[in-house]
Amino acid sequence: MSKVIKNLKQFSTSKERFEGANLLCPGCAHSIIVREVLNATDCELVVSNSTGCLEVCTAIYPYTSWDTSWIHVGFQNSSTVLSGVETAYKVLARKGRLKEGREEPKFIAFGGDGATYDIGFQFLSGTFERGHNIMYICIDNEVYANTGGQRSSSTPIGSSTTTSPAGTQSYGETKEKKDIVSIMAAHNAPYVAQVAPNKWKDMVKKVQRGYDTVGPVYINAMSPCTTEWKFNPKDTINIADLATDSLVYPLYEIIDGEELNITYRPKNVLPVRDYLGAQGRFKHLFKKENEHILNDYQVRVDKKWEKLQRREENSH
């Protein structure tokens, strides 16, 4: 591993590069994820940030929470802007216009699920196809939380949003969540992973591997949203625990588009209804007329877990 990669003890005593003074909602997992990503290395960082909750709440002019080089761009193009910065750095280095002995910075892009799964997917795909040496992190709260709580292609079945509301004629979102991790792995990216803030050691190890990887890295980070998922802000980590322990949000990595490793296996797998029942966005599913949706949900999660395990076995 590279000398810039920290061990967990070093990580826990890192200098903060993401200040706590921000306007994110109490209990928002975005700040947990970003702090862990930035503190996982002492290397110089260049960050690009798509429009979204993270950008809006951490850079209210003239203030900023970012103690790094930081660029705010549109919803769609944090990946392409950062790829341009990374390319410019390489050109300057090749021309000898950088200070001799200067260590190459790490290039990180942050985007929400709307900016990643939907609006910016073409830009993200192109960045990975070209092979830029960046790490793209999707902070996935499964909804357009910054613009009114609309559904995205990350929104799971049954979730009530402002554009897929539950009511007498609907049980909420009817389409399955897009499998963005498999899609990014299909780009033959050297490293792709899924993480959650409750399993911080797993997250830090994967982020550190991302820093030490040459080429495009994609990390999908579950980010429970107190506002749109409708739970008490003090329960953020509890909600994340329910997600990973019910296998609704499994934790794994894919190396070079082929080798798959499951990195967390719950000792006691919880029923999916425990996870859904802890959030107001799914409360309508517990009505008698929607009971079949809960049953179908469990079946889908079980099938996906079985498929993930088979894929892991076949990749080794």
CA distance 147 to 141: 13
Look at residue 129 and tell me if it is in a domain: yes
First to last CA, the chain: 22
Measured from the Cβ of residue 102, the count of other Cβ atoms closer than 10 Å reads: 10
| Domain interval for residue 274 | 8-314
Rounded CA separation 16/35 (Å): 7
Res 303: pLDDT: 97
CA 19 to mean position of chain CA atoms: 20
What's residue 34's pLDDT? 97
Query: Which pTM does this prediction carry?
Result: 0.95
Query: Which residue is listed with tokens 């769609």?
Result: 76
pLDDT, averaged in runs of 10, over the chain (316 residues): 61 81 94 94 94 95 93 94 96 91 91 97 97 98 96 97 95 96 97 97 95 97 97 98 98 97 97 98 96 95 98 94
Classify residue 66 by its DSSP letter: B
Quick check: 189 and 257 in contact, CB under 8 A? Answer: yes
The predicted structure's pLDDT at residue 5: 61
The total number of structural domains that make up the chain: 1
In a domain, 44, yes or no: yes
Structure tokens at 207: 């982020």
CATH number where 30 lies: 3.40.50.970
Tokens of residue 246, six digits: 């019910």
Average confidence score pLDDT of the chain? 94
Instruction: Provide DSSP, 190-245.
Output: SEEEEE-TTSHHHHHHHHHHHHT-SS-EEEEEE---IIIII--GGGHHHHHHHHHH
Distance CA 110, CA 219 (A): 10
Note whether residue 209 is domain-resident.
yes
Look at residue 3 and tell me if it is in a domain.
no
| Residue 12 forms part of a structural domain | yes
Using DSSP's 3-state secondary structure scheme, residue 165 falls into coil
Rounded to whole angstroms, the Cα distance separating 56 from 73 reads 11
Residue 48 lies in a domain: yes
